[in-house]
Chains A and B, each alone.
Chain A
Amino acid sequence: MGRSVQDTGFSRRTVLKAGAAAAAVTALPFAAPSVLRAQTAVVKVGILQPVTGALAHDGDLGRAGAEMAINEINAAGGIKSLGGAKLEMVFGDARSTPEAGTQEVERMQAEGVAAIVGGFASPICLAASQAAARYDLPYLVDVGVSDQIMARGLTNTFRFSPGFGKVTQVALDNLTAINDKAGKPAKTVVLVHEDGLFGSGLAKLLQTELPKRGFEILETIAHPTPARDMSNVALRIRSLNPDLVIPSNYYGEFVLLARTMQQQRIKPKGIYAILGGAASNGRFVKEFPQAAQNVIDCNHWHDPKNPKALALRKAVEGQGKSFAYNVSLNYSNVLLLADAIERAGSTDRKKIIEALNASTFAGHIMPYGPTKFVNGQNEGATPINTQIQGEDIKVVYPDAFAEAKANFPAA
């Protein structure tokens, strides 16, 4: 061996220098926040979205909505009761798994956020809101429709949008109303659903509810997510020849089904989606306008008569992104939260939760009216019906919000 320290090129001086540099680097992150704090106060808001993995496209849209709301609030002078404090986004990638969501909640808690908005998928919302509950951290669910989310009695969890029970109830009422109005052309139905939480839950419910409303279910077809081929499903639909197809699945499978049906020239009187994966997604309309024609969806959608909503849609499309409901939902949720912080006059979590509970916020862009939270659920929340007509997604029911007449039965 016989190597001395000098041989390796490490002198006492270089070691000292390296040590000093390392100390400076490690000290820097601790020094930085205090420098920032001297300037205007900020309120940190956690935005949790799955931007990698299977749900990346949706998560990206959700983030865009939240980002726009934050920019708008800051441009209008921030939170006035806190001396014009600006909102600062602390973004977390929930990947597409519950444990990644939990991990991000922990990080946001460590960064000192005042509240968290987002989650998107129900399993992420379930895990993340629970993790936030440990710290009494207010959690606003953006989309997750599972009824379990609100049934746990967590005082920190709020849902501005409607849950599964409400959506299906309204969807069935509206379907009956639209069908009645057109002179009851639809009598027979085929259900196509994915075999996960959302699809099979919905199928089960429809199987009991549809016959009560005078519809006959010819068959219920389940498929996995992801599914690569829908030919068999389409062939089965062709042989059954139903008046109505009710699909409940996610984006990819919905598009595949609609395209396969178009290719095989299967034209039922209507395709009526409930929380349809693609039926009210701008990307579907843009990429496959023919397959998308006349698809009706009962889903979250903004109030088309609200000028703010139209401006938001224009801005999102101006960025080259396709528009979907989770943009409006995240946008509205951030506004709702900002209103609560404004009224709480504090970033104290208990006060924000109190302010949310007392909230009667009407400045959002959804067709819900002023908010009213009962056990965390916004009572006024409701889905509405949209139909893809031409190259646009138009609200067709209820009449109070309708932009166009429903094209049903499809010509």
Chain B
Amino acid sequence: MTARDLIPIAVLTVLAALLPLVVTSSPVLNFLVFMLIVALGAQGWNILGGFGGQFSFGHAAFFGTGAYVTAILQLRFGVNAWAGLVLATLAGAAVGWAIGFLSFRSGLRGSYFALVTLAFAEVFRILANAASVTGGAAGLLIKLDVHPANLQFGDRAVFYWLVLALVAAVLLLTRWIQRSRFGAQLVAVRENEDAAKALGVNSLTVKLRAIALSGGVTALSGCLYAQYFLYVDANIAYGSWISVELLLAPIIGGVGTVFGPVVGALTLHGLGEVAKQFAGRIPGIDLIVFGGVLVLAVAFARGGILGLLERVRDRGRGMMARGPKEVSHADR
């Protein structure tokens, strides 16, 4: 990685980190925390779906595992919340590897893979709803005990910084993947798996690595969700809402780009929240905006918002150079 790869990430992180010093409003911070948690999970999806081209409809399986593992460890075994964070991430990676092993080894691709992940998430949801270790349908309530050692902070800004730091870390990880040999192999598998195999890429290993990383990152976001709202039940953890949420953000922001998931999560939720501020008396206005953004992005911004920005930039460059050739040669 070169300095040019790192500077945008560093600048954005520092700017975002300064935000709580300017904005002290709790609703805004609370919203930003939730948005960043979604962005983090979406980054996880993006590693597998964006770079690897394996579209999962069931990332709830990892999100929920993260949430439940930390909650169960704390409640049933008295494990510290910080340790829970690490163990939950590892558990997510393990579940990712296991699901990947079962489905990739059977050669499931495309819509078949998507359906299988959806099925896994549903199976987990039903199991979590019935098992006693997960509290059954009553869910699990992490005890409210505000202390930094318990990963609960009196000031929302601290949690915000924590999530932001993790989002930044995953931005770096994604950038590294993009620049590394592993990333190149992953993209090769995405573009043409058979061609990649012919070139000597072990596609199974590459995909397994990607799904384990992806599962780990998404589990981390689930763990943070549980730790922030202090409550998990089967529908929150393994419900289809989160699977959809996690795949929409990268699709809107830009699939297979480093910043796509974060931009997507910010756009979808940010616009909805702004609409709610201005038209708060109309219930559901934020959901209407959410839907509107989705339709516009899918219709006009193929490649997501980042893809659109790039096209606009290329067109601008093309106009400056007054040569149509420039546009078609613009490097991507």
Contacts and interface: CB of A to CB of B under 8 A. Distances in A.
Contact of A123 (B27, B136, B144, B231): B231
Q: Which bucket holds chain B's interface residue count?
A: 20 to 34
Given A103-B34, A146-B138, A200-B137, A130 B144 contact: yes
A152 interface: yes
B289 to A, nearest CB: 13
Interface string B177-220: 00000000000000000000000000000000000000000000
Interface string A253-287: 00000000000000000000000000000000000
B158 interface: no
Contact of B137 (A99, A107, A196): A196
A102 B30 contact: yes
Interface of B: 25-27, 30-31, 34, 126, 129-130, 136-139, 141, 143-144, 146, 154, 229-231, 233-236, 241, 281, 283-284, 287, 320
A93 B283 contact: yes
Contacts of B236: 97-98, 123
Interface string A90-128: 010101011100110011011000000000000100110
Given A148-B138, A154-B144, A195 B27 contact: no
Interface residues of A, number: 32
Given A123-B231, A195-B130, A195-B137, 20 more contacts: A52-B283, A91-B281, A103-B30, A103-B31, A103-B34, A106-B27, A123-B233, A123-B236, A127-B229, A130-B144, A152-B141, A152-B143, A196-B137, A196-B234, A197-B136, A197-B137, A197-B233, A199-B137, A200-B137, A201-B137
15 contacts: A52-B283, A93-B283, A97-B241, A99-B229, A103-B27, A106-B30, A123-B231, A127-B231, A130-B230, A133-B144, A148-B141, A152-B143, A152-B144, A196-B234, A200-B136
Contacts, number: 77
- Dominant secondary structure at the B interface: helix
A110 B26 contact: yes
Contacts of A148: 138, 141
A51 interface: yes
Given A98-B229, A197-B137, A200-B136, A106 B26 contact: yes
Interface string A142-167: 00001010001010000000000000
A110 to B, nearest CB: 5
A1 interface: yes
Nearest to B241: A97
B129 to A, nearest CB: 6
